[in-house]
Structure 1
């Protein structure tokens, strides 16, 4: 009898432990400017719901991603590894090119969360390959609703606003049009949809939370807003007259107006997700992260006071808005200044789920103690990047303390970010010893990088225009296999 009682107590303890493990939601924007959220000073685009995460949680003033463009940044985040270490360099150009995605056999953060008994879901943009081995379902996601390419039109291809353009495209398709016309799928099945895409993704995210509320879940809300193409509902654009938009060098007011509407739609969607957590009484036990996948585009966004934009190794390409909310654990209104990286999100999630990070080979750190105020120590002594824009280049960044070294071909630049956040003054000539020390260290870390496995895209004008995946059926990109 005593044995049965002890066993029952053990089971109750295990159940209580499982129930106490927090849900994890990671909300990732696409090409959002550093200064395009209220908590970073934006004045022309209200973001009350995103700002509420910062007000109720912690803001990372030095939050970084692993690459200044979508593909490498997302590959780093989802695998929890510096992507150059498995040979990912630059942005994948052709969505149906089998080499332009994650390598076969790689594990993801979702895999590790699955192993800890979490339900794993993803919504929105993938951009990490389209083969069977690169599909989210093969890479740790129980459920995926979205698109596998690097972008998407915000309405179906037959929407009246396109005047039939995408229904009578001449072949071959260009890279941008290929990416932006992949179908919306639920796991392996293409689906019909009608409303503005940001709203569609939000609705599915809400449904996922409702369906999985009874167990711990990991949800990757991967919005493609405000990535180009610039599209938004007319009534939302009307809220942001071009004449009232902030004047930003290189940004046309009309483009800024549409971009603002896209950010607004995403912010409204995030508000609905947060309301769902409140309605289901899940907020207290849910960790919600928000960040952008890289810096904003030069022609749409405001990254000031940072220098540069998407594609750049300057802060404007790598430093992004980043916040975390965890009620009762993270003190509201906290500002954390030590550098952290998107790699830390996955590592922290796995640790909170009960996983052993020593068995994962992840490059991120568990920053639970840092974000909850249990320690003020910096999570990292140094941060390393490979920032190649194209295959064959060799460029990167090393940050050690306040100093940042940029390596590009045979040139280097050195900046003190504490004194010069806008990277206006190159110190490489005045501090040659520091440059040599940091350059040697960057080269040492870069020895862990593998050569790119992306195949050349120059294989003829019809290369990778079609595939026979079932989820492509009904699109201009499907062609049955001849085998």
Structure 2
């Protein structure tokens, strides 16, 4: 009998060891850190001189930095819709930002997301920060594949509690009728369905939430989407941090006022500190060797704050400065260290690669990105894409972008413009006249791709949507029961 008991104990211990081994040597943990409106040249490893970003730079030194990393649109909402679903958002009609958070027509339709697909592969899924995909019950992150969500459902949020003295009572309470932007930026911070009392600078709150998620779930494969609000407007940062970025020491960026650059620099610095804390927690938990970390921005930086040079344009424009973003990945023991890769990749590839890493089939899941594990680990130097497409208008009209090798064509209002990015990264010289056949073939290729795209998901709202009665809104100035 004693021998049987000993044997059972040994079997149990072996089972426990196997369980732990699976969490540390099986499917990798996947963390995606997404900045909001970060300029291409506002990270040290991409050339920034006035804003120190040592932690993001270290991530690049330890992993791979892409110079041609693209998002799927030049504005927050559609770009995030593409990333979160792993599908080009034009395929389901997501062409513009959701401006009214309580309009049930605006935001993602009910569909699979990267998070829900990873759930099916046995991952625990967490999200922190900005959502911007709608607020209806079936659009809540918990209904879209996230087991745990800490953040806000709108497209932005004030960086301090609404009763902060610097706001001088402007936001608490709001004047009615309120502007759509003020509604967005004053929704409550929530943990799943429960409002959270805000006490500190938003970037600090979000970093701590990400750390808490990892603390809780480090013994099982997890996916964490760290969706920072910074450095999106409003321009707000701790005074002591702003003091480290005096106006006369900031880079002179055309169109950017020194004061705006100063506060923006402080915001990017605070973001970098958060990245450093997340990376330190991964090390402390002993899971670094089996954790993939991505970093990117959701679109290019704003013209009034950011430095996108040498790229032309900014957020809201279809030039490189709106679509090409900082993009980094680290996978210890897999990706080479400090390597710079120049072939074009898409934010859609992050979802496809993640599903493949988790043991799933991106193509069977209907994802539009590619599994780029071979390229990012340099087991293959073959370019993942020979062409990328963007729909940059509203609806199915011919307004978009196609990049084919070194050439990029923009079409809008019946006019096509062609640039050779190899010779002209700043998109200064239209070469369409000297390449008529290429223009025709690229337009035809874009038109063929566009046939699969959908009409607008929503039109112009017919009422202002000032209030809603969601459970997570209770206690906020935006809650109002329909029976009242």
Same fold (TM over 0.5): yes
Question: Cα 1:391–1:259, aligned 2, differ >3 Å: closer, same or farther?
Answer: farther
* 1:417-451 deviations in Å (ceiling 9; x for gaps): 11111001101111111101000110110111100
Q: Of 27, 38, 41, which aligns to 1:32?
A: 38
For 1:387 and 1:11, the matched residues in 2 are separated by 52
Q: Of 417, 420, 430, which aligns to 1:413?
A: 417
For 1:253 and 1:362, the matched residues in 2 are separated by 43
Question: Cα 1:275–1:430, aligned 2, differ >3 Å: closer, same or farther?
Answer: same
Residues 9-408 of structure 1 mapped to structure 2, 5 A cutoff: 16=21, 19-20=24-25, 21-104=27-110, 106-388=111-393, 390=394, 394-408=398-412
Question: Cα 1:238–1:14, aligned 2, differ >3 Å: closer, same or farther?
Answer: closer
For 2:229 and 2:46, the matched residues in 1 are separated by 21
Where does residue 450 of structure 2 map in the other structure? Answer: 446
Question: Cα 1:156–1:394, aligned 2, differ >3 Å: closer, same or farther?
Answer: farther
Residue 454 of structure 1: how far off its partner (Å): 1.2
Paired residues, what number?
A: 474
CA contact (8 A) 2:24 2:287 kept: no
Stretches of structure 1 lacking an aligned partner (at least 5 in a row): none
For 1:172 and 1:346, the matched residues in 2 are separated by 40
User: Any idea what SS the aligned residue of 1:167 has?
Assistant: coil
Residue 166 of structure 1: how far off its partner (Å): 0.9
CA contact (8 A) 1:128 1:148 kept: yes
For 2:136 and 2:251, the matched residues in 1 are separated by 42
User: Any idea what SS the aligned residue of 2:171 has?
Assistant: helix
For 1:303 and 1:475, the matched residues in 2 are separated by 38
Q: Of 415, 425, 429, which aligns to 2:429?
A: 425
Stretches of structure 2 lacking an aligned partner (at least 5 in a row): 1-7
Residue 193 of structure 1: how far off its partner (Å): 1.4
TM-score by length of 1: 0.95
Cα RMSD, aligned residues only: 1.9
- Please tell me whether residue 437 in structure 1 is matched to residue 441 in structure 2: yes
TM-score by length of 2: 0.95
Moved over 6 A (4+): 8-15
Residue 455 of structure 1: how far off its partner (Å): 2.7
For 1:154 and 1:393, the matched residues in 2 are separated by 38
Where does residue 4 of structure 2 map in the other structure? Answer: none
For 2:212 and 2:175, the matched residues in 1 are separated by 38
Residue 168 of structure 1: how far off its partner (Å): 3.4
